[in-house]
A and B are shown apart, each in its own frame.
Chain A
């Protein structure tokens, strides 16, 4: 440490003239390997996937067995201050990425990215429905019945239908640095998502899980101007989001016996919407106490005006006229934030921040005479409820360096939330916390953090609760009084000069809803992690990591619409292990990388129903993932590569295990099965280097 203080002071005390007068005329950088020109590497090969399992293809693209051709690569071209980079990954898969960045540094830059993410949910699902002319239709030979056990044509009508979709994202943007003071930026992106997901369609007392075709598109744009001068910066920006659903309604023929006129049902799909926002933000540095004042303000409006469907598709039902043909829904959002940080001395740091957020749903309220599932008019008139809220947050914090090796931070936060139409109109949550950091040596640090928070409510309005038919003893967990205690301890040992690093953390939080007689009453969380890294030699490094999480929650319910007569205790556990190594000998012919990870999840739910203990089976998940990558440096220009992956994933889920399409008398399901696969994916290929692979000093 003897040089540390000297060096810092050395820099700090340097007079301006000294730096300005550094004579760099002899600094010729003759040995510098400036990399003008082209440098790239391409990797091409083929991968064989051993098994046909849709779920393995989730986010990877390897959703069936067989051979896949694939290309990865990246490159950079530089010349005369112009720089362009490109990167492609998984080009042969449904998870492909193409990225291009370019810039004339200091003048402008631009970027383009196209990527896809495959979502592969179930490959085990079956349906009777045919997707035709925008209606999910029954097979011609279908025999309707009141319950699923009467579906005599079910077996012959079922056909496989995967639940899968693809998300495509294209983004283009650029920035123009007009001067030292001004820069402009803009980007535009388009996301599309198409495929099949699951939507349940309810009839009168029955429902069918439907393989719904989805076709979403979202356009987003950011445009801004940034002004920078001296110690301040200002940004004025616009953000717009435009969502388009190509399907406004989901219609299906019910497989259940239905009254005349109610055999074809429909539901509204997610409506088109748009959101636009203007924001102004800035930061200013002041000499006084080395302070920074940062602020942001934004105002936005969301709109939705999709044409309504009729109350019912049943022509035999007499209905009222709709109050209006579309919602003409509007939500105004506004946010303001101000943060001041100061450093009155080198050892003290202060922070004050305030934030205000408002969601004002100005959609008109009307009377709606609903029809229950196209069978009977309810006779009741309901008004739509446009929820609004205002949230404010005040935070103060101080950080004091008590000793060179000891820092103490403490703070207080107040969160207030005012809302309408709900059981709690006003709530306040006060949090206080402390944080101690002890670093007795450069290679060791101990941190301790703890705090409490108390969410108080002005009152839980049971009149409002009962107007929604709720048990007046229930306290919704997001509205209820809550007391929280939390603490975290972490220790880390690491030093550049030592080959071993170790970090361990433990975190605990206890939530108590002591005024809730029904609903969630407690939630306790315990997490810990251990990370060990060992650089065995210059060529070999290894790591071991472990993480564990446990969440225990309890809730009370009342089937008798009175005091509690049942109780559920939830115990969510998850464990993760990871181990791996890198072997990269300098000048060696072979590089090797190995990574193995394991994740095990267990959830126990014990239900005590009127004193009778009735636990549900344990929900389990088990993931084993192994990847070995080897590169053999054939020549300066060419590597041969071997990539071996193994993944096994298994879940045991009582919610779908053994639930065939006709297991539930009143619900026609898709018969999804829990996940269970083990897949090998073995790839061989080559990597070709264009340009110099390694950089060499010029002289």
Chain B
């Protein structure tokens, strides 16, 4: 890639915006403007912005001289590759006059999310993947910088133990659910949201990593894939029919406590349809249908059985 290809690609995308979105009147205003870059590039910027958070970019992937694709690659525009022309921002300001701003990537930025993301996708278009387009994050206009820290030596959202805290900034209800007594080990930092979800994708409506809910679960729970000789109908259709993967008050992350969960679908005459109440507690007449593993005391093969005599999911 040529030294100026980064800026050319930025330009090409921005010109597309021009072609589609700018009214003639606004264009006339724009023509009055002058795009001035700073005189000395990054050296101008660092005269003021010399804090560690800013300089950390030199420990990351964006400031590699030998990689001409990066903002600090040979011949590139350094800070201004992403923050735009900074000549006016870095120039002299009269006393009492506001310093002209420069493009920032944070809440309250003067750039729209689309404009912010254009800077990133100029180089990272492929990283978005096919599923990004029309997905929830795309339609909600989530900015790349809402999740990614481009200056950090290590982007927290790319580290399993740190990722959830980034996601929970917006997905606060899921943070509450992750604290439940029966949940995947996200709270302990051993699983990331990205273990199941693709923040750049939209394959299933829930932004899962695989083509279907069950296929996503099978990435870690392949033992349940089957097909079994005796299938349990909802299992083959959707693990989420019985489980709440974000966390639950019930063991196994079940959405309701057994046996009531099972009795929501099983009403056969005899023991499946009998009400299980407080009389079945140890203080009364202990009920094998209520206590211990409840229905699973006998029907332990709820995910399916491969035994020739296992049609009742007991073997």
Contacts and interface: CB of A to CB of B under 8 A. Distances in A.
Q: Which 10 A-B pairs have the closest CB atoms?
A: A81-B66, A547-B176, A27-B41, A4-B110, A13-B30, A346-B21, A614-B277, A566-B275, A59-B185, A105-B67
A582 interface: no
Interface in A382-424: 382, 384-387, 389, 393, 397, 399, 409, 419, 421-422
Given A97-B160, A422-B233, A12 B14 contact: yes
B297 A471 contact: no
Contacts of B219: 220, 241
B181 A651 contact: yes
A527 B173 contact: yes
Interface string B189-220: 01100000000001101000001100100111
Nearest to A498: B108
Contacts of B215: 275, 333
Contacts of A496: 104, 106-108
A296 B67 CA distance: 32
B106 A201 contact: no
A22 B77 contact: yes
B175 A568 contact: no
Nearest to A306: B306
A13 B33 contact: yes
B142 interface: no
Contacts of B21: 12, 343, 345-346
B148 interface: no
B18 A13 contact: yes
11 contacts: A16-B11, A27-B40, A81-B66, A243-B222, A268-B315, A271-B306, A304-B225, A310-B308, A335-B212, A345-B21, A559-B275
B296 interface: yes
Contact of A495 (B107, B269, B293): B107
A576 to B, nearest CB: 4
Contact of A105 (B27, B70, B265, B303): B70
Contacts of B202: 339
B93 interface: no
B300 interface: yes
Interface string A74-106: 101010110101010100000101000001011
Interface in B123-148: 125-126, 129-134, 138-139
B225 A302 contact: yes
A268 B282 contact: no
A343 B100 CA distance: 30
B156 interface: no
Contacts, number: 537
Interface string A541-581: 00001011100010101110100011010101010100000
B286 A664 contact: yes
Contacts of B283: 658
Residue from A11, A241, A337, A397 with most neighbouring chain B CB atoms (10 Å): A11
Contact of A59 (B40, B188, B225): B188
B238 to A, nearest CB: 7
A330 B227 contact: yes
A309 interface: yes
Interface string B71-88: 010011110000011000
Interface in A629-644: none
A470 interface: yes
Interface in A587-629: 597, 599, 601-603, 605, 607, 609-610, 614-617, 619, 621, 623
B78 to A, nearest CB: 6
B308 A24 contact: no
Given A553-B256, A655-B294, A387 B226 contact: no
Nearest to B188: A59
B180 A76 contact: no
Contacts of A655: 257, 290-292, 294
Given A200-B293, A361-B227, A308 B176 contact: no
Given A519-B265, A614-B277, A667-B291, 12 more contacts: A13-B30, A24-B77, A28-B41, A59-B190, A83-B61, A267-B300, A343-B20, A346-B22, A549-B176, A549-B177, A557-B263, A576-B176
Contacts of B50: 697
Given A9-B22, A389-B237, A268 B134 contact: no
A484 interface: no
Interface residues of A, number: 214
B236 interface: yes
Contact of B229 (A329, A568, A623): A329
Residue from A19, A349, A665 with most neighbouring chain B CB atoms (10 Å): A19
B166 to A, nearest CB: 14
Interface residues of B, number: 162
A470 B69 CA distance: 65
Given A202-B314, A275-B225, A614-B279, A656 B46 contact: no
Contacts of A6: 29, 33
A209 interface: yes
A694 to B, nearest CB: 6
Nearest to B107: A494
Interface stretch (A31-39, A132-140, A152-160, A677-685): A31-39
B203 A296 contact: yes
A545 B229 contact: no
B134 A294 contact: yes
Contacts of A60: 188
Interface stretch (A43-51, A254-262, A453-461, A474-482): A474-482
B249 A601 contact: yes
Contacts of B46: 31-32, 697
Contacts of A29: 41-43, 72, 78
Contacts of A275: 215, 218, 225
A654 interface: yes
Interface in A361-391: 361, 363, 368, 370-373, 382, 384-387, 389
